Structure 1
Amino acid sequence: MSAPLSALLLTGGASRRMQADKALLDYAGQPQLLRAWALLRHIELVQAFVSLRPDQRSEMLRGSLPALADSVDSVGPVAGILSAQQAYPGHAWLVIACDLPLLDARTLRSLVSARQPGKDATVFVSRHDGLPEPLCAIWEPSSAPLLRQRFEAHHFCPRKALLQLQIHALPSPGNALDNINTPGELLQARQQLEPN
């Protein structure tokens, strides 16, 4: 029997390259955090949370949604994933980064429908390098021991963890997983999403 599926929207990043909180960036009149949260309505889930750093709890928009604060050192996305696995150890986690403004409900539904609970994770591969995409993926409970082991060894890259796990890899969904890290990428994404 497969583990219950919960969702984790990662919003705890420092956004150093963007120099602005990526979760609060506006696309077509709506903050990206709310755009991404709305996509979760299209998936059958047990529960959904916004992942954040403890110092972000008082931020108004994040505070309006169910939240899971990092319970381990905030060292990037792996902190959010580990914290969720620790809080609900029997759950699988649909993990989504908040900097994917081109992500759509069809892409999420295809990921969930292709889920293979017998693997450690179900993932898309990157259209750029063919490597597994860790931040729009389903992490099964069986992935937790390796993630924890790597974290304790100060290895914080979730993609490299996927390379050590048994994964079910799906073809790239095109530009749906293009993340936005710089002001230039932000401008390009807005041009794609906003009517002229």
Structure 2
Amino acid sequence: MNTHVTPAIYGLLLSGGASRRMQRDKAQLAYAGQPQLLRAWHLLEAVTERAFLSVRAEQRDDPLRAGLPQLVDRYEAIGPAAGILTAQEAYPDVAWLVIACDLPLLDQATLQTLLDARDASGDATAFNSRFDGLPEPLCALWEPSSHGLLKQRVGGGSYCPRKALILSRTKLLPAPGDALDNINTPEEFEQMHQQIETTS
């Protein structure tokens, strides 16, 4: 009799970035009348058992974030790895569907594709980037077993979650078209805004 229980899946929306190139909080950028953060939140909430917003301590009371369940980073100045590690340490027995809040073309079908392809016997399931073919860590499913290597690498001064996926037992899926294209500059936002407004 197989008593192995597949870990539940919780959602983590990363919203703690400093948005330096954008020069404003990317979570507040609106597409089709809705802040990007809330749009991403609804996607995540729809496909996971529970979902949390990853924030830095100083973002907790921000009006856009204050009403959502939060996990406050326990690590400082290490980028997205802070949110992932914080979530894993708060709920070590679950897998985390991690998404960034600056993916305006992400849709529920893409997240469902990732979940349907899950290999719970490995460390992670992720898409390849359509730009460089490397794993996309900020729309990925991180199993509980991925924590050890990520923690070890951060402890050694390497904060790149993508490198952790490369070194882990990661099931890789083909890039989902442009669904994982992110925006980092005011110019990119303007282009994306026009693209979404004309198609919505």
- TM bucket by the smaller chain? over 0.9
Report whether the alignment pairs 1:109 with 2:87: no
- Distance (whole Å) between structure 2 residues aligned to residue 162 and residue 138 of structure 1: 10
- Distance (whole Å) between structure 1 residues aligned to residue 46 and residue 26 of structure 2: 23
Q: Answer whether contact 1:53 1:74 (CA < 8 A) is retained.
A: no
1:178-193 matches, within 5 Å, as 178-193=181-196
Tell me the residue number matched to 2:36. 32
**How far is the alpha carbon of 1:28 from its aligned partner?**
1.0
**Quick one: which amino acid aligns to residue 27 of structure 2?**
A
Q: Answer whether contact 2:102 2:182 (CA < 8 A) is retained.
A: yes
**Quick one: which amino acid aligns to residue 180 of structure 1?**
I
Report whether the alignment pairs 1:177 with 2:176: no
**How far is the alpha carbon of 1:195 from its aligned partner?**
2.8
Structure 1: stretches of 5+ with no match in the other structure: none
Tell me the residue number matched to 2:57. 54
Query: SS where residue 117 of structure 1 aligns?
Result: coil
Normalised to the residue count of structure 2, the TM-score between the two structures is 0.95
**How far is the alpha carbon of 1:78 from its aligned partner?**
0.3
Q: Answer whether contact 1:42 1:109 (CA < 8 A) is retained.
A: no
Query: SS where residue 50 of structure 1 aligns?
Result: strand
- Distance (whole Å) between structure 2 residues aligned to residue 108 and residue 74 of structure 1: 28
Report whether the alignment pairs 1:76 with 2:76: no
Tell me the residue number matched to 2:130. 127
- Distance (whole Å) between structure 1 residues aligned to residue 91 and residue 68 of structure 2: 18
Seq. identity, %: 59
Q: Answer whether contact 1:123 1:168 (CA < 8 A) is retained.
A: yes
Report whether the alignment pairs 1:93 with 2:101: no
C-alpha distance after superposition, 1:19-76 (max 9, x if no partner): 0100011111110001101112431x22100000011011011001111000122411
Normalised to the residue count of structure 1, the TM-score between the two structures is 0.97
Query: SS where residue 39 of structure 1 aligns?
Result: helix
Report whether the alignment pairs 1:14 with 2:14: no
- Number of residue pairs matched by the alignment: 195
RMSD: 1.0
Report whether the alignment pairs 1:159 with 2:162: yes
Moved over 3 A (4+): none
Structure 2: stretches of 5+ with no match in the other structure: none
- Distance (whole Å) between structure 2 residues aligned to residue 41 and residue 55 of structure 1: 24
- Distance (whole Å) between structure 2 residues aligned to residue 10 and residue 29 of structure 1: 21
Structure 1 range deviating more: 47-56 or 69-78:
69-78
Aligned counterpart in structure 1 of residue 144 of structure 2, from 141, 144, 161: 141
**Quick one: which amino acid aligns to residue 31 of structure 1?**
P
